[in-house]
Amino acid sequence: MTGNSSLTPEQQAPGSLVGNLGGPIFLKDLQLDGVSATTARPGDTIQMITRLCLTSDDPFFHKVADGLAAHVEYRANESGVSVKLAKSDIVLLVVHPDHSGMLWLDTAAVDHQVRLKRSVNAGDAIFENDIADITAMRFPFVEIKEEDRVLCLFRVGWKFGLLFDFNPDKNLLIQQMEVDLGTLYRRLKYCRLYDMIENEALMDGIVVSGWFPFVELSVSEIQGIADFLAAKFDLSDIESSILSSFDDERVEKMFSRWMTRSHLCGREAILRSAVNNFKAGDSVAVLKIVLTEIEGILRDAYIRENEKSAKIDTLLEFAKNSAMKLSGQKSTLFFPEQFQHYLAKYVYANFDPVAQTENNASRHSVGHGASAPTSYTRVRALQALLTIDQLAFYI
């Protein structure tokens, strides 16, 4: 959240030193009711868009943004203020039913609702690697009412997000708008991560190698794996770097997180053994323990919710749906649909007990004693721990 300690009472919450950086520009006669979905001639019937979310990756963005900016800038000039919306990082326009409005150009305080990887206290610094997901974007000190219309245009890096809701029913869904703004912000901030996920061939290569954009991994670690695969480099160098970052402290932080989850803390003794063996370098013990516990963790959570057990395919679907329910959407940084695919195609991959392969360390092959000794690598052991950790955010 951006803030300023020299604020008027109207710009600041009681008892808070955080608020808007300044006041809005007041405008009149804002005739914003919709955007035409098609090209049309006078007298033609058109489809009018009254609510839209899109990023500057969409070619339609530029037409819409140019048209809306031109109207707002014209009304601002009529009010005696010269503005250029393209020069601002965050543009917020709130239009009232009488067509008057408040235009905020980089002055409205912004906060982001996030899910964290660790516990924090009030006043603790939050770093990018602490963020597991971004779920909403809000303007806490700007009054927005249900009968208002809203336009928001913002920049993240070299890209823009645009949301407008011209609210023809006079029933602005403010909470949904904040979630949609969060989704736009998340997709822009983590655009390379989403590009990777949406590249089917690249994602298949990542899954085959046993990796996934696990929550615990940093964006740079995930992107490093993707870049190595895209360049057809051997993964050993990037994997060694990632392994070295998982020192005892980082592994213990993961374990502490698990112990705050009801579906994991009951297995403390088992999971503690896995963590201790990982720190001791015993990958065989880690894989034998963790890969046979995953299904039990899923089953326990499923039984608590459904009062009955289920087979593995149903449990994997349950994990995906649980993550989507927690985040409220499927495009979350938890990537629940893709994780279900990872579990099915890698963790629970089928095996041929006759034709052993050195890379086969799936749950089935390990559980049935069909994995070659060379499959029990430290990399595979870390991937198994990260799979457990992912479930800590899911159920």
DSSP SS3 for 21: coil
pLDDT band at 331 (very low <50, low <70, confident <90, very high): confident
Give 174-229 pLDDT, tens digit per residue: 999 999 999 999 999 999 999 999 999 999 999 999 999 999 999 999 999 999 99
Give 269-293 pLDDT, tens digit per residue: 999 999 999 999 999 999 999 999 9
The Cβ of residue 68 has, within 10 Å, a number of other Cβ atoms equal to 19
**Do the beta carbons of residue 389 and residue 254 sit within 8 Å?**
yes
Nearest Cα to 203, choosing from 77, 340, 368? Answer: 340
Nearest Cα to 216, choosing from 32, 42, 24, 387? Answer: 387
Q: Say which DSSP state 85 is in.
A: G
In this predicted structure, what is the pLDDT of residue 120? 84
Give 91-147 pLDDT, tens digit per residue: 999 999 999 999 999 999 999 999 998 888 888 888 888 899 999 999 999 999 999
Which of 186-191's residues contact partners 24+ apart within 8 Å by CB, and which partners?
A: 186/133, 186/134, 186/331, 186/332, 186/333, 187/55, 187/161, 187/331, 188/55, 188/156, 188/157, 188/159, 188/160, 188/161, 189/134, 189/156, 189/157, 190/219, 190/333, 191/57, 191/157, 191/159
Q: Give dist(CA 120, CA 118) in Å, integer.
A: 6
pLDDT tops 70 at residue 17: no
Sign of CA dihedral 277, 283, 289, 293: positive
pLDDT tops 60 at residue 3: no
Q: Give dist(CA 277, CA 271) in Å, integer.
A: 10
Q: What is the percentage of the chain residues whose pLDDT exceeds 70?
A: 93
Give 45-78 pLDDT, tens digit per residue: 888 999 999 999 999 999 999 999 999 999 999 9
Q: Give dist(CA 352, CA 217) in Å, integer.
A: 31
CB-based burial label for 7 (10 Å; 0-12, 13-18, 19+) = buried
In this predicted structure, what is the pLDDT of residue 46? 84
pLDDT band at 361 (very low <50, low <70, confident <90, very high): confident
In this predicted structure, what is the pLDDT of residue 15? 45
Q: Give dist(CA 249, CA 159) in Å, integer.
A: 36
Stretch 303-327: mean pLDDT: 89
Calculate the CA 182 to chain-centre distance: 9
The CA-CA-CA angle for residues 319, 324, 326, to 5°, reads 95
Token pair for 354 = 């006759």
Q: How many residues does the chain have?
A: 395
Nearest Cα to 232, choosing from 187, 202, 189? Answer: 202
pLDDT band at 14 (very low <50, low <70, confident <90, very high): very low
Q: Give dist(CA 112, CA 139) in Å, integer.
A: 9
Token pair for 83 = 């503005």
Q: What is the percentage of the chain residues whose pLDDT exceeds 90?
A: 74
pLDDT tops 50 at residue 1: no
CB-based burial label for 236 (10 Å; 0-12, 13-18, 19+) = exposed
Q: Say which DSSP state 133 is in.
A: E
Nearest Cα to 313, choosing from 350, 353, 287? Answer: 350
pLDDT band at 359 (very low <50, low <70, confident <90, very high): low
